A and B are shown apart, each in its own frame.
Chain A
Amino acid sequence: MILGLDMGGTQTDTVLVERGRVIRATKTPTGDDLLETLRTAIDHTLGDLDPGAITRLAFSTTMATNAIVQDQLEPAGMIVSAGPGMDPAWFSVGPSYHIVDGCLDHQGYEVKPLDRAALVNAVSRIREKQIRVLGLVGKFSVRNPLHELQMAEWVGDVFLHKALGHQVSGVLNFPRRITTTYLNAALYPLQQRFSEALVGILNEKALKAPRYLLKPDGGTVELGKSDALPARTAQSGPAASVMGALALDACKGTTLILDIGGTTTDMAVILEGVPLFNPHGIRLGPYQTLIRSLLTHSLGIGGDSEVRMGKNDQLKIGPLRKGRPMALGGPAPTPTDAMIALNLLDVGEKEAAVGAMATLGAPLGMNGKAVAQTVLTTMAESIAEAVEAFLYEINSQPVYTVHEVLKDTKIDPTSVLIMGGPAPQITPYVGDALELPCRVPPHHDVANAVGAAVARVTTSVTLQADTQRGTVIIPEADLEQDVSHRFGLDQALILGRQVLEEQARRMGAEHETLEVAVTEKQLFNMIRQGRITGQNIRLKMSIIPGLIPHWIRR
């Protein structure tokens, strides 16, 4: 049996699942103390069950996200080296940001050595501020980590933790590498405390099974391995619902996923069982990062959103949530009140809901029932509008080859899977607005927790070989090797797969889940003075999101 938990802003969903069945599902209010919430949710769910029966535990938590959004990060020092180009001072982050001289070019050749004296000076200024964690980032370090490794060596062991830019991602983007490295440094002590405390709670409850945290890319990482790169577990909630969709529905064709919660509606697309990825990296609060994530969009409309009369007598829904629905004693009318007033839902005090709708419609001379209908059609139309913008953006992604331009594959959903609390009630309205067949999966109200429970480990590597220079590099794995002139695509693929699999195992992957996808494969002849002098090979390989073998979809 597996325990899966998804912590939301107001509510924490927990499930026990076994081979495609949801054995138990609970909802616990999310409190200010996340560890207390976790403890309560686990107690609440396990009840008197034998903890030995639990074979796996997986958590999607808001720890990292909250720390970022509420600005509770540990002060982290930053040392960067850049060379010419955009002024690195523009990317200053944290309380002690320092630029030292040194430059690598886009091929990874050293143009200017690192200024050791400046680095030493920066270190003392950071230490003067009693800062315990440090981020070290070089421009083009994913092409050659030399300067970052030198920085780390010259800094020595005077910090609690040093985060290195080339290890966070193999993708080219210096400003995002800076912010991502900063977040990994600044979250390190928090994540360490959190995982220690969580381990303590689990041990105390005799829950000894392997423990995982969910990441925003729809995959998991073993709890014990999460400290080094803590930022990659932030904002995993939307990924939990996408993985829940995959767990509870076959998601054939092109499926639009809508997770309609209390405050927000999250959307995503699954293409023949594979979720679409965000091509750049997730945004965390004000920070653009290189953290891989599924492509999701969050709209500020949910079942508990405030409904009010806007300009031109048009109903406005969200983005604020004033509290619970009026039928449950809340302060403002909500779509949930509309559902209750229309007898679609039987909770709380119906009278309060009907009254709320009547008050809302009074200025227009509309009766409560008519207003309630309008609330739900307006909600559905707003969602449909956001879906259209989301799809437009997906289909406007640039492509760089003749082949892709001519293939012109458009993402055009063939059906919609709707999850979340209000899913059954709102589905007919959304179906009309989107003009697409909609369905609601079983356990729609805890699908996110199911997703967290059964998501497998994911990871990815970026390989670049330059046979003219005679090197191959996989920055995420700190791999740098000399290669001969004959090193080709086949060898690159073999090497990439080997490194990827090792990395996945280190993160806690089970052997049978190592399904490797080559997401980018490019080979360029390098032509100098009219002759082919080498090859430039670029690969991106990943273990894509999927379900652990234990789970059987019903």
Chain B
Amino acid sequence: MIRAARKTGLIFFPAFDWAISPDHPEREERLLYTQDQVLEEGLLDIGGIVEYRVRPAGFEDIRRVHFCVPDEAAVTTESHLISAGGCLMAADAVQKGEVESAFALVRPPGHHAMRVVHGNRGFCNINIEAIMIEYLRETYGIRKVAVVDTDCHHGDGTQDIYWHDPNTLFISIHQDGRTLYPGSGFPEEDGGPNAKGTTVNIPLPPGTGEEGFLYVLDELVMPLLQAFDPEIVINSAGQDNHFNDPITNMNFSAQGYARLNARLKPDIAVLEGGYAVENALPYVNVGIIMAMAGLDISTVKEPNYDQDYRRQRPEITNYIEQLAGGLKRRFLREAAPRTSDREGEVVERSRDIYYDTDGIHERQHEKIRACSECAGALSIASTSNRGQHILAVHIPPGACKACRDTGHRWYEQGEKGPFSHVYLQDRVNRVYRQAGGQG
């Protein structure tokens, strides 16, 4: 019998009875051919590849991450809970030492879901990686986490959730936001005042091929990980950089994804987007599983690779080398020390967020206490065109006393304010509260 060099957990949940709507791309059929390919390859018979049965996550798992408006039940379905639960299974399997690494091959995805959730953005309602990371912190006492998001779309939801967290390194490699949804993810987006440099965006030009992805992995991602020294590495393994993907313009391949995974060696990989259900996902997923298990990946290839794959053009190679050079200077050589010259001050920002799937417009006003001791107390006032006007207060894990006090004061003030709902997420005391405001 063939044996895996690394013991690998597979949590497969294709949600064969769930779709966003009858003809939506996030549909029942999405992982059908992936399952066919995985079964035909016989991957599940390989010694050391263990398949787990999923269980749903609970609302308590969501509350560690999100402020759901008006509540969790209103913005999730069972399938979202099971998809998130699949990630928790992966986390448990790795942390209990049953496997060396795990792949949550689940749907629906989550990396566009931000901290405040009014509805569905970019096919995502709740952020399944963030729910897993906060579960890892709560259950296993893990502190430093790195997320490498290799979906073609900028992981703006994960970026939003970890914008202020210096203990989470978020790296997103994606197609340049000037050419693709959600239109964000530029190098200047590098983290909030308490977490400068722990958000890293690598926007690649359309047409980036195997070479380009592996180049930024070797030149940028791996050194960043080495410098950050996380306890656990997570890969948001979206699969829409593929040359067969109809809605993006990248030029990646199953072989490339497999090699990327083999070099990155994530502890946990989580499926994100990718809708070339017949001619990309089956091969990319087989490649990822084989790479995680430490099997020889040299034969991983799409049937149409020899005919249809085009090598990366030289001008793209040049562009990527320049981009990587700039990012290296910014994040590796000239990385600023993480102390704020505005210690104790409250830093504010306002922004508009659009929920493409549900057509919701949200306006946020955010306040963060600049703090060098912790991630800082955070408050978000959020108004949507659905008539919601809420205040959400987040006290991060390991918050210092000043930030805890600030957070509680903001919450108490909020209760008297003009809000339809006021939420508290006190990670230090594990208090999750929701009150109707005076509004």
**Interface residues of A, Cβ cutoff 8 Å to B:** 83-87, 90-91, 103, 105-107, 111-112, 139-140, 171-176, 280, 286, 288, 396-403, 405-406, 522, 524-527, 529-532, 536
Q: How many residues does chain B have at the interface if contact means C-beta atoms less than 8 Å apart?
A: 53
Contact of B79 among A86, A90, A139, A402 (CB under 8 A): A402
The smallest C-beta distance from A521 to any residue of chain B, in angstroms, reads 11
Measured between beta carbons, the chain B residues less than 8 angstroms from A86 are 41-43, 286, 290, 295, 299
Give the interface SS of chain B, mostly helix, strand, loop or mixed: loop
> Smallest CB-CB separation from B34: which chain A residue?
A106
Q: Is the Cβ of A405 less than 8 Å from the Cβ of B56?
A: yes
Give the interface segment out of B20-28, B235-243, B372-380. Answer: B20-28
- Scan B16-56; emit 1 where CB is below 8 A from any A CB, else 0: 11100011110111001101110111110100000111111
- The verdict on B303 contacting chain A, using a C-beta distance below 8 Å, is yes
Contact of A402 among B78, B300, B301 (CB under 8 A): B78
Q: Is the Cβ of B28 less than 8 Å from the Cβ of A105?
A: no
Contact of A398 among B12, B78, B278, B283 (CB under 8 A): B12
Q: Is the Cβ of A525 less than 8 Å from the Cβ of B42?
A: no
Q: Is the Cβ of A87 less than 8 Å from the Cβ of B28?
A: no
Cβ-Cβ contact count across A and B, 8 Å cutoff: 123
Q: Is the Cβ of A107 less than 8 Å from the Cβ of B278?
A: yes
Q: Is the Cβ of B1 less than 8 Å from the Cβ of A288?
A: yes
**Interface residues of B, Cβ cutoff 8 Å to A:** 1-2, 12-18, 22-25, 27-29, 32-33, 35-37, 39-43, 45, 51-56, 77-79, 82, 246, 278, 282-283, 286, 290, 295-296, 298-305
Measured between beta carbons, the chain B residues less than 8 angstroms from A532 are 22-23
Given A86-B43, A111-B304, A176-B42, check contact A522 B82 (CB 8 Å).
no
Measured between beta carbons, the chain A residues less than 8 angstroms from B27 are 525, 527
Q: Is the Cβ of A111 less than 8 Å from the Cβ of B303?
A: yes
Give 16 pairs: A residue, B residue, CB < 8 Å, sorted on A: A84-B300, A84-B305, A86-B41, A86-B286, A173-B40, A399-B53, A400-B12, A401-B16, A402-B17, A402-B79, A405-B54, A405-B55, A406-B78, A522-B16, A527-B25, A531-B23
Measured between beta carbons, the chain A residues less than 8 angstroms from B300 are 84-85
Given A84-B299, A522-B16, A525-B28, check contact A402 B82 (CB 8 Å).
yes
> Smallest CB-CB separation from B56: which chain A residue?
A405
B22, B283, B299 pick with most chain A CB within 10 angstroms = B299
Q: Is the Cβ of B16 less than 8 Å from the Cβ of A400?
A: yes
Alpha-carbon separation in the docked complex, A286 to B45 (Å): 13
Alpha-carbon separation in the docked complex, A106 to B282 (Å): 9
A288, A398, A531, A532 pick with most chain B CB within 10 angstroms = A398
Given A85-B286, A86-B42, A524-B28, check contact A400 B13 (CB 8 Å).
yes
Given A406-B78, A526-B29, check contact A87 B296 (CB 8 Å).
yes
Contact of A396 among B33, B53, B79, B303 (CB under 8 A): B53
Q: Is the Cβ of A398 less than 8 Å from the Cβ of B40?
A: no
The smallest C-beta distance from A487 to any residue of chain B, in angstroms, reads 17
Q: Is the Cβ of A112 less than 8 Å from the Cβ of B45?
A: no
Q: Is the Cβ of A401 less than 8 Å from the Cβ of B17?
A: yes
Q: Is the Cβ of B299 less than 8 Å from the Cβ of A85?
A: yes
The smallest C-beta distance from A14 to any residue of chain B, in angstroms, reads 37
Q: Is the Cβ of A525 less than 8 Å from the Cβ of B22?
A: yes
Alpha-carbon separation in the docked complex, A140 to B1 (Å): 21
Measured between beta carbons, the chain B residues less than 8 angstroms from A400 are 12-16, 35
The smallest C-beta distance from A109 to any residue of chain B, in angstroms, reads 9
Given A86-B290, A174-B42, check contact A401 B29 (CB 8 Å).
no
Measured between beta carbons, the chain A residues less than 8 angstroms from B246 are 529
- Known: A175-B42, A398-B52; 10 extra A-B contacts, CB below 8 A, are A84-B299, A85-B300, A86-B286, A87-B296, A280-B45, A399-B53, A400-B13, A400-B35, A526-B29, A530-B25
Given A90-B2, A175-B45, check contact A524 B32 (CB 8 Å).
yes
Alpha-carbon separation in the docked complex, A83 to B283 (Å): 12
5 nearest A-B pairs in the assembled complex, by CB-CB distance? A175-B42, A84-B301, A111-B303, A172-B39, A172-B40
Given A86-B299, A398-B12, check contact A106 B40 (CB 8 Å).
yes
Q: Is the Cβ of A397 less than 8 Å from the Cβ of B42?
A: no
Measured between beta carbons, the chain B residues less than 8 angstroms from A91 are 42
Alpha-carbon separation in the docked complex, A93 to B304 (Å): 29
A85, A140, A174, A525 pick with most chain B CB within 10 angstroms = A85
Measured between beta carbons, the chain A residues less than 8 angstroms from B79 are 402
Alpha-carbon separation in the docked complex, A529 to B276 (Å): 10
Q: Is the Cβ of B1 less than 8 Å from the Cβ of A405?
A: no
Alpha-carbon separation in the docked complex, A91 to B296 (Å): 14
Given A396-B53, A401-B16, check contact A106 B36 (CB 8 Å).
yes
Measured between beta carbons, the chain B residues less than 8 angstroms from A396 are 52-53
Measured between beta carbons, the chain A residues less than 8 angstroms from B290 are 86
Alpha-carbon separation in the docked complex, A504 to B370 (Å): 76
> Smallest CB-CB separation from B302: which chain A residue?
A84
Q: Is the Cβ of B299 less than 8 Å from the Cβ of A288?
A: no
The smallest C-beta distance from A274 to any residue of chain B, in angstroms, reads 22
> Smallest CB-CB separation from B254: which chain A residue?
A84
B40, B79, B304 pick with most chain A CB within 10 angstroms = B40
The smallest C-beta distance from A379 to any residue of chain B, in angstroms, reads 30
Alpha-carbon separation in the docked complex, A399 to B78 (Å): 14
The smallest C-beta distance from B20 to any residue of chain A, in angstroms, reads 11
Alpha-carbon separation in the docked complex, A536 to B295 (Å): 32
Q: Is the Cβ of B299 less than 8 Å from the Cβ of A87?
A: yes
Given A139-B40, A398-B12, A401-B15, check contact A105 B23 (CB 8 Å).
no
Measured between beta carbons, the chain A residues less than 8 angstroms from B303 are 83-84, 103, 105, 111-112
The smallest C-beta distance from A391 to any residue of chain B, in angstroms, reads 14
Alpha-carbon separation in the docked complex, A339 to B301 (Å): 62
> Smallest CB-CB separation from B82: which chain A residue?
A405
The smallest C-beta distance from B278 to any residue of chain A, in angstroms, reads 7
Alpha-carbon separation in the docked complex, A86 to B54 (Å): 26
Q: Is the Cβ of A530 less than 8 Å from the Cβ of B12?
A: no
The smallest C-beta distance from B374 to any residue of chain A, in angstroms, reads 37
Alpha-carbon separation in the docked complex, A282 to B304 (Å): 35
Measured between beta carbons, the chain B residues less than 8 angstroms from A140 are 40
The smallest C-beta distance from B73 to any residue of chain A, in angstroms, reads 15
Alpha-carbon separation in the docked complex, A172 to B41 (Å): 8
Measured between beta carbons, the chain A residues less than 8 angstroms from B56 are 405-406
A106, A175, A527, A530 pick with most chain B CB within 10 angstroms = A106
> Smallest CB-CB separation from B40: which chain A residue?
A172
Q: Is the Cβ of B45 less than 8 Å from the Cβ of A176?
A: yes
Measured between beta carbons, the chain A residues less than 8 angstroms from B2 are 90
> Smallest CB-CB separation from B279: which chain A residue?
A105
Alpha-carbon separation in the docked complex, A430 to B396 (Å): 54
Q: Is the Cβ of B54 less than 8 Å from the Cβ of A530?
A: no
Measured between beta carbons, the chain B residues less than 8 angstroms from A139 are 40
Alpha-carbon separation in the docked complex, A400 to B15 (Å): 6
> Smallest CB-CB separation from B32: which chain A residue?
A524
Alpha-carbon separation in the docked complex, A280 to B39 (Å): 10
Alpha-carbon separation in the docked complex, A173 to B298 (Å): 21
> Smallest CB-CB separation from B15: which chain A residue?
A402
The smallest C-beta distance from B297 to any residue of chain A, in angstroms, reads 10
Alpha-carbon separation in the docked complex, A286 to B296 (Å): 23
A103, A105, A529 pick with most chain B CB within 10 angstroms = A105
Alpha-carbon separation in the docked complex, A397 to B55 (Å): 12
Alpha-carbon separation in the docked complex, A250 to B204 (Å): 67
Measured between beta carbons, the chain A residues less than 8 angstroms from B28 are 524-525
Measured between beta carbons, the chain A residues less than 8 angstroms from B25 are 527, 530
The smallest C-beta distance from A392 to any residue of chain B, in angstroms, reads 11
Measured between beta carbons, the chain B residues less than 8 angstroms from A286 are 1
Q: Is the Cβ of A173 less than 8 Å from the Cβ of B39?
A: yes
Measured between beta carbons, the chain B residues less than 8 angstroms from A527 are 23-25, 27, 29
Measured between beta carbons, the chain A residues less than 8 angstroms from B13 are 400, 405
The smallest C-beta distance from A408 to any residue of chain B, in angstroms, reads 9
Measured between beta carbons, the chain A residues less than 8 angstroms from B24 are 527
> Smallest CB-CB separation from A107: which chain B residue?
B278
